[in-house]
A = this chain, B = another copy of it.
Amino acid sequence: MPRSRYLLRWKLSRIKGANSAEQAEHWIPATVPGAVQLDWAAAHQLPDYQEGPHLNAWQEMENSAWQYRAIPGEVPPLQPDERLFLVLQGVDYACEVSLNGERLLQHTGMQTPIELDVTERWHPGVQLDVLIHPAPKAPGAPHGRSQARESCKPAVSYGWDFHPRLIPLGLWQETFLEVRSPLHFSQPPQISYALSEDCRAAQGQLQVVLNAPARKGMTLEWHLIDPEEKRVLSCEEKIEQGQSRRAIEFSLEAIQPWWPHDQGSPSLYHSEIILKASEGEVCDRHCHRIGFRQVRLVMAPGEWEMPNTFPKSRSRPPITLEINGRRLFAKGSNWVCPDIFPGRLERAHYEEQLQLVRRNHLNILRLWGGAPALKESFYELCDELGIMVWQEFPLACNDYPDTAAYLAELDQESRSLILRIRRHPSLVLWCGGNELFNNWSGMTDQSHALRLLNRNTFDLDPATPFLPTAPIDGMGHGHYVFRDPQTGEEAWAVFQKASCTAYSEFGCPAPAPLEVLKRILPEAELWPPRRGTTWESHHAFGVWMSESWLNLPEIEHYFGPCSTLEELVERGQLLQSAGYQGLYEEARRQKPVASMALNWCFNEPWPTAANNSLVAWPCVPKPALAAVGEACRPTLASARIRKFSWTPGELFDPEIWLLHDGPDALEPMEVSVWLEQDGLRRHLLSWLPGPILPNTNCRGPRAQCVLPEFEGPLFTLFLEVKDRPDWSSAYRLVKTRGISPAAPREGETRALNL
């Protein structure tokens, strides 16, 4: 008989203080999956932590212990040889499990499921308790992220420049009883494969393991159904009596590989594996989807020839993703989790955001190591939508130690994560964690944690590449401002000087959408934004550089003082849009040396007043998301523009490109370049690029004109592709503030003379 599950329901009690020996007393309803904080707040009508100054009441809960108690339910009926298992799929973070007051297990780690055989102990009236310990904190560490440095608890919860301190605890994944029989699979059947050189055929193996040696006459049936619902493989194989393992070799021709959505179809096959007894009775059944794909990190052209002087060092490591033998440019974003409480996220939450990812032409998400873990449906959606996943382990901006205790926890947690998600075709990259080789972390290639993660990914999923951290040599993080207040340099110029192999983080901040600001900030504090108010507790001031993330002086640098909140939001968001547009396109222009552009960051776990994110909490796109979407179209006309702010009389000299990441060749086309000022359009040049090879850019002419006088404050450069408005682009630029148009600045006379 196939396995049956009985979901558990729970109540919750807060233990006074952190002393877990104390008695649970007052019970409140518990929502599982969820978090103790959410239950406690609901029961006590705490005001929303997101709004105004209400966060404090939520924060202190990290120091309590909590007791979950299962609400008595149906006692599952068992056949004589069946076993009853208690399964807690994810407990955040350290816990003790007791039945009838007897402690059965101590457990630490949110990625590793708890599975306990309770057959003999489970009876009507049984008392199941899960005692949740207070949030883990490294002894002696100061308040903040370094308290997470000795555990696998996501560090962001301890406070970050876009995340308040608020540390979730509780049952964050499903909990249930499961009836298991000796005639069940003991673990999900595993399908491993390798693709042929041309990635058109697969050879592999299905492996199943039973809970007990097979009885006489048992068979294993396997059906594989292609994306068009055609059955491409169907077999029924005997399992020898007494064997508890069975492997079936297979080979498939003419497969439809899984592709990221911008390269092809994210094809998924449906696999159904049925275990049958001798009479044909179905004992167990396992259904899941498979995508066939091959992933490699390969060297960019020219990189092998560098360095070319003595003393000779190594070549920079490869970071270009090659999927199914095809190199591609990874355009994506850093995913920091759409909620502080990962337990309350469901498929619909992920889906709303992932649809935005796909719709805006992003093909990869870096699951940043500081952020909470995600549920299975996230990876399923990425498989379906053709979004590549760069998965980090829970290490970020700390020096995680070489101690036996920490390494044992990391070993367990990393193995659990790898075993759980390695089957997803969307998973293309493992990574140890965030910025671990930089001075604010202090880890090195010799750190045992990273050697352990190399080992575990190599042992359990060798075909997927592994990076110890990001950035590694050649990769770049930052800048995180539109214009550096210290150097005056704009982000566009920073990128135009750089030659990274991958831009895996770069940010431009903007204020939140008006609707968000109005909800989270008390009306009296809304205007003007000031330090010491809710603006500050929502990250508008002093969280990174002094003025981050609102960066008022920068907005005023370009536009002068703002007189309303609406004006501030509009201007700040314009800077963010322009910034990201220029950065993504510049990274793409540097292809093939550069092969990745991922902004910091996609979403946010709570509503910030200002932040680098493209999407405000819970899922409110900022205008920059659309700008990024435009910049990441597979094909577009693009302009390399030296700077954002221009003075009439200067030589305006954008370089024109045709960017093309698509897998097809392009016919010749006509690009015309126009300048629009005060509603007047001037033709700067026409250019006939093409034919253009697949996944290849085309560098074109440099337009040049002495910038005419105009009123401003904005003007626009248009790149129009004849008959392909979907490839045309527009760049909004700004007139330099406070410059008399008649008086060119020093150093610009050459330009004016042209």
Query: Is A462 on the interface with B (CB-CB < 8 A)?
Result: yes
In the complex, A370 Cα to B495 Cα: how many Å? Answer: 41
- Whether B476 pairs with A438 at a CB distance below 8 angstroms is no
Interface residue ranges of A512-551 to B (CB < 8 Å): none
- Whether B500 pairs with A313 at a CB distance below 8 angstroms is yes
In the complex, A494 Cα to B310 Cα: how many Å? Answer: 7
In the complex, A160 Cα to B258 Cα: how many Å? Answer: 45
Q: Which of A15-23, A443-451, A639-647, A715-723 contacts B (4 or more CB under 8 A)?
A: A443-451
In the complex, A475 Cα to B310 Cα: how many Å? Answer: 11
Interface residue ranges of A454-481 to B (CB < 8 Å): 454-455, 458-459, 462, 465-467, 469, 471-479
Nearest-CB distance from A398 to chain B (Å)? 15
- Whether A476 pairs with B310 at a CB distance below 8 angstroms is yes
Query: Is A452 on the interface with B (CB-CB < 8 A)?
Result: yes
Kindly identify which residue among B313, B445, B478 contacts A310, using a CB–CB cutoff of 8 Å: B478
Q: Which of A91-99, A296-304, A619-627, A698-706 contacts B (4 or more CB under 8 A)?
A: A296-304
- Whether B503 pairs with A311 at a CB distance below 8 angstroms is yes
Query: Is A416 on the interface with B (CB-CB < 8 A)?
Result: no
Query: Is A606 on the interface with B (CB-CB < 8 A)?
Result: no
Within 8 Å CB of A438, what residues of B? Answer: 312, 314-315
- Whether B439 pairs with A448 at a CB distance below 8 angstroms is no
Within 8 Å CB of A452, what residues of B? Answer: 458
Chain A 236-272 interface mask (CB, 8 Å, partner B; 1/0):
0000000000000000000000000000000000000
- Whether B437 pairs with A315 at a CB distance below 8 angstroms is yes
In the complex, A229 Cα to B500 Cα: how many Å? Answer: 59
Chain A 123-135 interface mask (CB, 8 Å, partner B; 1/0):
0000000000000
Query: Is A42 on the interface with B (CB-CB < 8 A)?
Result: no
Nearest-CB distance from A661 to chain B (Å)? 21
- Whether A305 pairs with B476 at a CB distance below 8 angstroms is no
- Whether B451 pairs with A313 at a CB distance below 8 angstroms is no
In the complex, A498 Cα to B311 Cα: how many Å? Answer: 7
Query: Is A492 on the interface with B (CB-CB < 8 A)?
Result: no
Query: Is A185 on the interface with B (CB-CB < 8 A)?
Result: no
- Whether B437 pairs with A466 at a CB distance below 8 angstroms is no
Query: Is A33 on the interface with B (CB-CB < 8 A)?
Result: no
Within 8 Å CB of A311, what residues of B? Answer: 471, 475-479, 494-495, 498, 500, 503, 506
In the complex, A276 Cα to B530 Cα: how many Å? Answer: 81
- Whether B462 pairs with A448 at a CB distance below 8 angstroms is yes
Nearest-CB distance from A551 to chain B (Å)? 15
Query: Is A217 on the interface with B (CB-CB < 8 A)?
Result: no
Nearest-CB distance from A580 to chain B (Å)? 15
Q: A318-B444, A455-B459 are in contact. Are A471 and B312 (CB under 8 A)?
A: yes
- Whether B445 pairs with A317 at a CB distance below 8 angstroms is yes
- Give the nearest-CB partner of A478 in chain B: B310
- Whether A299 pairs with B454 at a CB distance below 8 angstroms is no
Nearest-CB distance from A583 to chain B (Å)? 10
- Give the nearest-CB partner of A481 in chain B: B310
Query: Is A713 on the interface with B (CB-CB < 8 A)?
Result: no
- Give the nearest-CB partner of A437 in chain B: B314
Copies of this chain assembled into the complex:
2
**Count of chain A residues near B, Cβ 8 A:** 48
Query: Is A442 on the interface with B (CB-CB < 8 A)?
Result: yes
Nearest-CB distance from A203 to chain B (Å)? 13
Kindly identify which residue among B314, B448, B506 contacts A471, using a CB–CB cutoff of 8 Å: B314
Within 8 Å CB of A459, what residues of B? Answer: 455
Within 8 Å CB of A318, what residues of B? Answer: 444-446
- Whether B305 pairs with A446 at a CB distance below 8 angstroms is no
Nearest-CB distance from A226 to chain B (Å)? 28
Chain A 599-635 interface mask (CB, 8 Å, partner B; 1/0):
0000000000000000000000000000000000000
- Give the nearest-CB partner of A436 in chain B: B314
Nearest-CB distance from A478 to chain B (Å)? 4
- Give the nearest-CB partner of A477 in chain B: B312
Nearest-CB distance from A12 to chain B (Å)? 42
Nearest-CB distance from A585 to chain B (Å)? 16
- Whether A469 pairs with B314 at a CB distance below 8 angstroms is yes
In the complex, A454 Cα to B448 Cα: how many Å? Answer: 11
Kindly identify which residue among B315, B465, B476 contacts A446, using a CB–CB cutoff of 8 Å: B465
- Whether B313 pairs with A444 at a CB distance below 8 angstroms is no
In the complex, A312 Cα to B466 Cα: how many Å? Answer: 20
- Whether A473 pairs with B314 at a CB distance below 8 angstroms is yes
Kindly identify which residue among B466, B473, B474 contacts A451, using a CB–CB cutoff of 8 Å: B466
Chain A 262-303 interface mask (CB, 8 Å, partner B; 1/0):
000000000000000000000000000000000011010000
Nearest-CB distance from A497 to chain B (Å)? 9
Chain A 307-339 interface mask (CB, 8 Å, partner B; 1/0):
000111111011000000000000000000000
In the complex, A469 Cα to B442 Cα: how many Å? Answer: 22
Nearest-CB distance from A418 to chain B (Å)? 14
Nearest-CB distance from A586 to chain B (Å)? 11
In the complex, A541 Cα to B313 Cα: how many Å? Answer: 26
- Whether A297 pairs with B476 at a CB distance below 8 angstroms is no
- Give the nearest-CB partner of A451 in chain B: B458
Interface residue ranges of A50-105 to B (CB < 8 Å): none
In the complex, A475 Cα to B315 Cα: how many Å? Answer: 11
- Whether B305 pairs with A439 at a CB distance below 8 angstroms is yes
Within 8 Å CB of A500, what residues of B? Answer: 311, 313
In the complex, A439 Cα to B306 Cα: how many Å? Answer: 8
In the complex, A467 Cα to B444 Cα: how many Å? Answer: 11
- Give the nearest-CB partner of A455 in chain B: B455
Nearest-CB distance from A153 to chain B (Å)? 24
Within 8 Å CB of A477, what residues of B? Answer: 310-313
**A–B Cβ pairs within 8 angstroms, 20 of them:** A299-B444, A304-B442, A310-B484, A311-B506, A312-B471, A313-B472, A313-B473, A313-B474, A313-B475, A313-B477, A314-B469, A314-B471, A314-B473, A317-B437, A318-B446, A445-B467, A445-B472, A448-B462, A451-B454, A455-B459
Which of A's residues lie within 8 Å of B, judged by CB? 296-297, 299, 304-305, 310-315, 317-318, 437-439, 442, 444-446, 448, 451-452, 454-455, 458-459, 462, 465-467, 469, 471-479, 484, 494-495, 498, 500, 503, 506
